[in-house]
Structures are given as C-alpha cells and as structure tokens.
Structure 1
Amino acid sequence: MQTATEVGHSAPTPKEVTGFRVLGAISVAHFLNDMIQSLILSIYPLLKGNFHLSFAQIGLITLTYQMTASILQPVVGMYTDKHPKPYSLALGMGFTLVGLLLLSVASHYGIVLFAAALVGTGSSIFHPESSRVARMASGGRHGLAQSIFQVGGNAGSAMGPLLAAWIIIPHGQTSIAWFSVAALLAIVILWQIGNWYKRRRSEMSTKAGKSGHSHAVLPRRQVMFSIGILLLLIFSKYFYMASLSSYFTFYLISKFHLSIQDAQFQLFMFLFAVAVGTVLGGPIGDKVGRKWVIWASILGVAPFTLMLPYANLFWTGVLSVVIGIILASAFSAILVFAQELVPGKVGTISGLFFGFAFGMGGIGAAALGKLADMTDIYFVYQVCSFLPLLGLAAAFLPRLEKYPHQTS
C-alpha cells in the first residue's frame, strides 16, 4: 500500500493568496487562548503555598491539564476531518472560560484539578481546527502559516508569567477571574473566524476536482516509520520544555535565591525566545526544507542544554533564551512535515501532534516533579540536558523532494 505525500504546494500558485488577515486573527485567538492557559503554570508558586502542595502534586495539575488536551485532540481532529465544525473554535474557548472562572474560586485541590481539566478540554477543541484554518489560509505557504499561528500561542504563553507576576501574585487567586475578559474577546474573534471557515469550505468544495495536485509517493511503512521519528522528536522537545515551563521558577528561586517576580521574568524571557524561534522555523523550512530545520533545532540545542545546569545566573538567562529560540523552531516544521506525509488528514495529524506534545508535556511535568521530590531540582536539569541528543533520529527522515511524483 502506498501513501501520497503533498510536496507540490510549497509555494502559492497564482490563484492562491495567503490570507494574512485570517492568519492574524487566528494567531490573536491563539495568543489569548495560550495566555489564559499559561496562567495555570505561572501561578504554581501561589497554588503551592495556598494548598501546601508537593512538587508531585504540582506536576499532577499539569498532567491533568495536558492529558485532557492530548487524549481528546486526535479524536477531535479525526471527527472534524469528516465533519468540519466551523464554530467549534468558539465552543472550545467556552470550556476554557468556565475553567478559568472555576480556578479563581477553587477552595481545595480537587477543584483546581477539575478546572485544569476544563481548560485542557478547551485546548483539545481549539488546536486541531485552528491549525486547519491556518492551512486553509496559507495560500500554499504552509510553514509560514503555521509559524504565524504558532507564534500567537507562544507569545501568549510568554505573557502569562508577566501577567501573573503583575496581577495575580499581588492580588491573589480571585484575580484570575479578571482574565475572563480575554476569553470573551477570543470567543468573539473565533466566531468571526468560524464564519470565514464556513464560507471558505463552500468555495473549496466548488473548486474541488478542477485542478490536479502534485504528490510524492512513499511506501506506507516508510510513512509510519517517519511519523514515529517525528513523535520521538516531539517527546524529546516537550519533555525538556516541561522542565523549564513547570519548574524553571523553582530552580531559579532555589539556586539563585530570586524573588517570585524576578523568577517569573526569567521564565518570560525563555517563553519570549520560544515565540521568536517559532516565527523563524516555519518560513525557513519553506525555503530550505523542513528536514534540515528539524535536524538543526532538536540536535542543535544539545550543547546549550548540557551547559545550562552548570551556569551562573547571567549565563543561565542567556542559555535559556538560546535554548528557547533553537528548540521552538522545530514544531512548525515537524507539523507541516507530518501533514505532507499524510495528505488530506490535517485535523487528524494536527490533533495527534498537538495532543502528543501536550501529553508529553504533562507526563514530563508529573515525572520530573516526582524526580525532584525524590532527589532535588538540580538533578532534574542534569538529566533533562541529554534529551535533545535524541535529535540524531532526524537523520532517518526522508527527503520528500527525492521521491517520484504523480498527479491526482
């Protein structure tokens, strides 16, 4: 059995125009979505003090949020591939809104976990369909479109720690409810995107079959093997990312005796670097090939992760920024590479990879929290520093342009 792989649309045809207004809108919605979600990670020191939590219990919050997102996302993606739901984006943000409000009034640990699960559910609905919207608006520039979409989320994640330091930490847990305004704004934007999505689907249905598409033909076994490699690289990336997003503030406070606000600023700098790396990865992949971006991003970050546990405060800040830029450049390239391996299954592939990424982040947070309780937070960073060496597996990814093409 053979699988057709789309590589013939790396650049727009004369009739294809990149919809930057739509990409901008979905990126803003992604910014608001991930900003809200990052508040959970950003207020861990507050929750730890309020509910007297261990590191393992902190990790369980992340695991609950990430697992609801990761398990549901492939299911949502497969369903919407067959039954597209333009207005499901706004519905997903509604789950996030309810979870946010519940978190602001949570009186015990169980309610915190339930609120985290609701936010994860909202994320599981949002990401597959929003990734589809980005591809529909790409005009053939798929890497660029995914980067624009992704950078909104990464910028939102970067803002979370700052907003937590400026608003939530000084005013307490109930101030989380103030961010419901952002969720309501996102619902309005996503409803408008749903209207465009509905019209665009109608246009695409009318034009279907009028022009052929160039495909590269790969054996099914090689497609599945390549998907496995990409998932291994996602494991490496997001396990390492979990060590920074969930525990970097604790590491800085413990090792360098920083205040919570100063540690949150350092986390913001790392997450801002992640946003910058995301912008660079997609368009570079469009020009030089996604395999080379994947290779350089995952394996190329290894020297810096290996140095981080032994650096002083200044160099810890510098290395975290370098790591963020390099490591983040991979995801857009990985996602588009996978979408090209399995054409016509944008929702399924997006759901699988977003879901797996979230799942690895959640499992990583829980596992690393347990490891920190058993040893110490310094040992966690020593162990995680070796994870990017798994980037060597990128050598086994195919160069899609080498394969014969057919027209469908």
Structure 2
Amino acid sequence: MTTSSEVPRSPQMAASSFRGAPSELAGPKVWLLSVGHAVDDLYQGAVPALIPFFVAARHWDYSTASGITVAATVLSALIQPAFGVITDRRRLPWLVPLGMALAGIGIALSGLSGSYAITLLAVALSGVGVAAYHPESARLARDAARGSHVAMSWFSLGGNIGFALGPLLVPLVLIPLGISGTLPLAVPAIIWALVTAGALRRRITPPTNSTQTGATTTASAQPAALAKKDDWKGFGTLVVPVIARSILTAGFGTFLALFVEHRLHTGTNVGEAALITFYGVGAVGTLLGGRLAKRFGRIPTIRAAYAATILFTLGVWLIPGPAVFLAIAATAVAAYVPFSIHVTLGQDFLPNHVGTASGVTLGLAVSVGGLLAPVLGVIADHAGLSMSIATLVLMPVVAALVGLRLHEPN
C-alpha cells in the first residue's frame, strides 16, 4: 500500500495533453485550472444564494424552493458519470470552457422570467454545464499536479473559493437590481471560458494516434494502462462517504441561510453571511486536507475529519445565538478536509478510468446531494428548519462508519 506523500502517477499522466516538460508548465497549468474551477463552481454556490431572493420575491414555500437545488443538481448528477466515461475514451478539453460558459449562462437566465418552469430549466442548464466541466478539468489538473496531494488541493481549493464567491456575488448583483437582474452574473464565466479556450488552444496537442483510433493515450501508454488494475470495490466503498458528504454540504447550501435567519431572527444579509462563512472557511479546509494527507496519510486524515464533522454539525444544530457561526466555521473545515483527498483516492482506485473517478469524486460529489433537497424541504415544511438540519447530522456518521473500511489503493 502507498503511504508516501505523492500518489502514484496514472497511465494518463504519461500522455499529458499540454506542451512542454511538466516542470516547466505545472505551476501555470494548476493556476489556470484552479481559477477556472473557481469560476465554474461560483455558479453552484450561486444557487443556494439565489434561493432566499426567490423565496422573498415569489413567496415560495420550502419545498418549492428546494426544487431549484434539484434543478441544478439532478441532470448534473445523472449525466456527470457519463461525461466521465466519455472522457476516459477520448480527450475532450473543449468541454472545460464550454461547460464553464453554460454554467454561467444558465444562472444568468434564471431570474429573467417569473415562470417557475423556466427558472428550473435555466438552472438545469447550469447544472449540465457543471457536469460537462468537471471530469475533463480534473484529468487535466491531475496531469498538471503530477500526482501531488498539495497541488490537487489547490485545484480543489479553486472550486471551494468559487462556492464562497457565489453567495458574495449574488447579493452584490441582486440587491440593487432585483431578482430579474441575474444577467450580469454570466460575465465571469464568459470571460474565463474565453481565456481557458485560448490557453488550451496554445498548449494542447492531440494524442499522436487520435486521428486513427480516437484513443485517449499514446500507443506507448497502453501497456502502462494495463499494468495497474482498477479496484472497483475500493472505489465503491469510497463513493459512500463521498455521497454522504455531498448530502451534508448540499443540505447546508439549501437551508443554512434560511436556518440562520430563523435562528437569529434576522434578514437575508445574515443568512448570506452564514453561507459565505461555510463556503469560505471550507476553502481553508480543502487546502489543509492536502497538507494533512501529505504528513499523516490520506486515510487517517479523512477518518479524523469525518469524526470531527459529526461533533461540529451537532454544534450547528444545537448552539444558540451568534455563536452558531463558530460551529458553522468548524463544520466547514472538517467537512472540506476530505474533498481533494477523495479526488486523488478515486483516481488511484481507477487508474484506467480517471475521467469516471473524477466525475464521481469531484463532480458528482458536489451535485448528487441536491437530489435529497426535496426530502429536507418536506421535513422543514412539516417539522421546522431545525429538524431538517438535525437530519443532516446523520451524514457524517455514515461517512465515519464506512470510512473505517477504506484502504489505500494498491
């Protein structure tokens, strides 16, 4: 079993898509992809930030509001693994800027119509863009990171920063413009999609045999791909805590702002501050996770993080008054420590299907939790927001128990 600070190089890394030696371009590549990840995931963070504005302007109940989260995640959750399978068979770097652009355009269109159905379709379009973006961007990031936990944590950190920026950007735009003023939200996606497309066009070379076979690796990489076997059983075990963590973070994303507003008897600004705290401090947890994994190993790090998340999530549910913000911050750190570690573990469990692994551990991990938002919405409508948050405490318990069965990939 591997316990070193660097994860094994995947076969796909032997056929890196970028020009130049890895040592020459690794820094700029990781930076480019990390910023792109921030821009893409900004629009996932924007969805929970939009919900209080929709509730206030359109007088939706909690179940109706949770439908927005479902619209953003259901298509993404269903088709993200399919994008992973496709990118395992053929490199499609253009999905990175295209997916980013669609993520922004969908959110930008969400407030332009008073129709609930059109709003759902616009948010669903954003979810499709997110699904298209993640598998291929994670493959490119792994190539750029050269298997480093710390470098991958920077890539993952970009996504967490984007989540934190979503709740910050949405009020800045919608407070002066109103719920129908969502169109300017597309600007970051359009700009960085163009930057990314230009960079990829300059730096990416098609595989030497792509015109003949459409394969994702060079001929010399094929024997290496066969040298390591995929551990689907180990990957399946990993998927359980990935999904449990996703339900926790998606549940917080949907109802944390409303819960804090209700708990503290305040307005939308305080609820948005709770989201910014959760996603912003979570970014610190992601970066910390890469460093802890390098020092103590991946499995011990995520087991400790799962256990800590149980305690801190209980704090969010039970601690009264403004001190709830301390519990939110602590929960964010603990819940986000495993994020980038999940990605590298999944890629090492499936060295011949890095796109599939990335689609699940990086993309699906973010979106699948939203599928349970309607259940939490029903609980909130019938038993109160506090009970909905209490239900989420079960998720880190599941992650901690299944985490005891995890092992390092062979």
Name the TM tier (shorter chain): 0.7 to 0.9
- Write the letter of the residue equivalent to 1:19: A
- For the residues of structure 2 that align with 1:317 and 1:396, how far apart are their CA atoms? 33
**Structure 1 pair 207/225, CA: closer, same or farther in 2 (3 Å)?**
closer
> Which one of the candidate residues 225, 236, 243 is aligned to 2:244?
236
Instruction: Out of 354-363 and 50-59, give the one that drifted further.
Output: 354-363
- The aligned residue for residue 119 of structure 1 is 126
**Structure 1 pair 7/253, CA: closer, same or farther in 2 (3 Å)?**
closer
Check the 8 A contact 1:251/1:378 in 2, yes or no.
Answer: yes
- The aligned residue for residue 49 of structure 1 is 56
Equivalent residues in 2 for 1:83-162 (5 A)? 83-141=90-148, 143-162=149-168
- For the residues of structure 2 that align with 1:355 and 1:27, how far apart are their CA atoms? 15
Equivalent residues in 2 for 1:203-222 (5 A)? 208-209=220-221
- The aligned residue for residue 175 of structure 1 is 181
Instruction: Out of 371-380 and 191-200, give the one that drifted further.
Output: 191-200
- For the residues of structure 1 that align with 2:206 and 2:298, how far apart are their CA atoms? 27
Matched, 1:388 2:406: no
Instruction: Out of 118-127 and 148-157, give the one that drifted further.
Output: 148-157
TM-score, with normalisation over the residues of structure 1?
Answer: 0.87
Check the 8 A contact 1:76/1:125 in 2, yes or no.
Answer: yes
Check the 8 A contact 1:22/1:193 in 2, yes or no.
Answer: no
Residues 171-191 of structure 1, C-alpha deviations (whole Å, 9 max, x = no match)? 202321112221211211220
- The aligned residue for residue 406 of structure 1 is none
Check the 8 A contact 1:71/1:355 in 2, yes or no.
Answer: no
TM-score, with normalisation over the residues of structure 2?
Answer: 0.87
**Structure 1 pair 333/24, CA: closer, same or farther in 2 (3 Å)?**
same
Check the 8 A contact 1:37/1:157 in 2, yes or no.
Answer: yes
- Structure 2 SS opposite 1:195: helix
**Structure 1 pair 254/314, CA: closer, same or farther in 2 (3 Å)?**
closer
- Structure 1 SS opposite 2:180: helix
Check the 8 A contact 2:228/2:351 in 1, yes or no.
Answer: no
Check the 8 A contact 2:347/2:357 in 1, yes or no.
Answer: yes
- For the residues of structure 1 that align with 2:206 and 2:139, how far apart are their CA atoms? 12
- For the residues of structure 1 that align with 2:136 and 2:225, how far apart are their CA atoms? 23
- The aligned residue for residue 331 of structure 1 is 339
Instruction: Out of 93-102 and 273-282, give the one that drifted further.
Output: 93-102
Instruction: Out of 166-175 and 193-202, give the one that drifted further.
Output: 193-202
- Structure 2 SS opposite 1:86: coil
Quote how far apart the aligned CAs of 1:300 are. 2.3
**Structure 1 pair 289/208, CA: closer, same or farther in 2 (3 Å)?**
farther
Quote how far apart the aligned CAs of 1:389 are. 1.5
- The aligned residue for residue 347 of structure 1 is 355
Matched, 1:288 2:296: yes
- The aligned residue for residue 3 of structure 2 is none
- Write the letter of the residue equivalent to 2:320: N
Give 4+ residue runs of structure 1 displaced > 3 Å after superposition.
6-10, 200-217
**Structure 1 pair 231/252, CA: closer, same or farther in 2 (3 Å)?**
same
- Structure 1 SS opposite 2:147: coil
Check the 8 A contact 1:51/1:108 in 2, yes or no.
Answer: no
- For the residues of structure 1 that align with 2:53 and 2:95, how far apart are their CA atoms? 33
Quote how far apart the aligned CAs of 1:215 are. 7.0
In structure 1, stretches of 5+ residues that fail to align are 1-5, 404-408
Identity across matched positions, percent: 25
**Structure 1 pair 167/84, CA: closer, same or farther in 2 (3 Å)?**
same
- The aligned residue for residue 3 of structure 1 is none
- For the residues of structure 1 that align with 2:179 and 2:91, how far apart are their CA atoms? 37
